[in-house]
């Protein structure tokens, strides 16, 4: 599917809202009037988004056609593609094609664009996490880019080029921040230290084999995976005790294996994530999406 097409945008919106209960497919105007959100359908009414009034619904097709034509252009250099993705993110939010969920669709769309152009993090980092961490600044930069052109030195279109440039810089800095953040968390030396700290201070419910499991997990972090016999080498225990250590490790979720006698791999159960990867998850206030 063409990731810049109207059909793809509708697919994203439909896939998102079709997973929500009917009670969450209702939105409200600024005056409090309720209206139903139809998954995958462009709005057929006017809306206001703060100080921004998006294009008339009758002009959506023309705006989205231009959006597709410009950002899907194969002549955009690979070195400029990230900037184009950043600009496309704002322009899609500005067009505001749906009655609700535009912010969510725009972020999902940006993620899809990164994947399509081979620029995603392979599951190791996400743009959405970075935008969530800088929520206030994110909306400020979007709103700045919504403004009209300031003067003859502010681009050639109707909207401010300076504001769009500031947003694109913020967008790229957010990506860099997330890459660097996850790079630090996945540094093997630091990860081993955090594993050591977890088993020393937090896995106190383990009455047996705590130190043995710590050695095993730290070794798997270094080596990726290894045969079960390696556990005996690491702990200096006999076959029976080694089998018990492996059993406890599998039960607790610290290690995993594809079969009963298969090789052992490191696992990341929910209970260890705050210790292995501090600050990976953040608590955010539940707010209405600005889309």
Stretch(es) of the chain classified as CATH 1.10.3290.10: 6-185
Provide the pLDDT for residue 283.
56
Q: Is the pLDDT of residue 57 over 70?
A: yes
Provide the pLDDT for residue 24.
87
DSSP per position, the chain: --TTSHHHHHHHHHHHHTTS-GGGSEEE-TT--EEE--TT----S---BTTB-PPPGGGHHHHHHHHHHHHT-TTS-GGGHHHHHHHHHHHHHHH--SSS-HHHHHHHHHHHHHHHTT-S-TTS--HHHHHHHTHHHHHHHHHHHHSBP-STTS-SSSB-HHHHHHHHHHHHHHHHHHHHHHHHHT-HHHHHHHHHHHHHHT-TT--SSHHHHHHHHHHHHHHSEE-THHHHHHH---HHHHHHHHHHHHHHTSEE-SSTTSPEEE---GGGHHHHSTTSS----------
Q: Is the pLDDT of residue 287 over 70?
A: no
Stretch(es) of the chain classified as CATH 1.10.10.10: 188-276
Q: Is the pLDDT of residue 289 over 60?
A: no
* Domain 6-185 classification at class level: mainly alpha
pLDDT in tens, 73-131: 999 999 999 999 999 999 999 999 999 999 999 999 999 999 999 987 777 788 998 99
pLDDT in tens, 243-259: 999 999 999 999 999 99
The residue among 158 and 262 whose pLDDT is bigger is 262
pLDDT in tens, 192-212: 999 999 999 999 999 999 999
Q: Which CATH number fits domain 188-276: 1.10.3720.10, 1.10.10.10, 3.30.1050.10, 2.60.320.10?
A: 1.10.10.10
Query: Is the sign of the CA dihedral 95, 139, 282, 127 positive or negative?
Result: positive
pLDDT confidence of 48, banded at 50, 70, 90?
confident
pTM of the model: 0.76
Q: What is the mean pLDDT of residues 29-49?
A: 84
The answer to which of 32-36, 215-219, 250-254 has the lowest mean pLDDT is 32-36
């Amino acid at each position: 599917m063409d990731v810049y097409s109207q059909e793809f945008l509708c697919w994203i919106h439909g896939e998102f809202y079709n997973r929500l209960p009917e009670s969450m497919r209702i939105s409200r105007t600024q005056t409090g009037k309720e209206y139903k959100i139809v998954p995958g359908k462009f709005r057929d009414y006017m809306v206001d988004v703060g100080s921004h009034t998006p294009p008339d619904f009758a002009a959506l097709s023309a705006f989205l056609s231009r959006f597709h034509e410009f950002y899907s252009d194969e002549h955009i250099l690979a070195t400029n593609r990230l900037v184009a993705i950043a600009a496309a993110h704002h322009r899609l939010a500005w067009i505001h094609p749906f009655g609700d969920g535009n912010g969510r669709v725009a972020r999902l769309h940006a993620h899809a664009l990164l994947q399509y152009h081979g620029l995603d993090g392979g599951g190791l980092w996400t743009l959405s996490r970075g935008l969530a961490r800088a929520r206030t600044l994110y909306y400020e930069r979007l709103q700045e880019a919504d403004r009209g052109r300031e003067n003859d030195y502010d681009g050639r279109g109707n909207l401010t080029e300076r504001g769009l440039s500031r947003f694109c810089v913020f967008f790229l800095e957010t990506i860099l921040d997330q890459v660097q953040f996850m790079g630090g968390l996945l540094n093997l030396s630091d990860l081993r230290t955090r594993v050591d700290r977890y088993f020393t201070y937090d896995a106190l419910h383990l009455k047996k084999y705590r130190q043995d499991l710590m050695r095993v997990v730290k070794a798997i972090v270094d080596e990726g995976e290894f045969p079960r016999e390696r556990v005996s080498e690491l702990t200096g225990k006999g076959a029976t005790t080694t089998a018990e250590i492996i059993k406890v490790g599998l039960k607790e979720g610290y290690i995993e294996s594809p079969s009963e006698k298969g090789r052992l791999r490191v696992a990341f159960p929910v209970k260890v994530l705050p210790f292995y990867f501090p600050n990976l998850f953040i608590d955010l206030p539940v707010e209405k999406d600005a889309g």
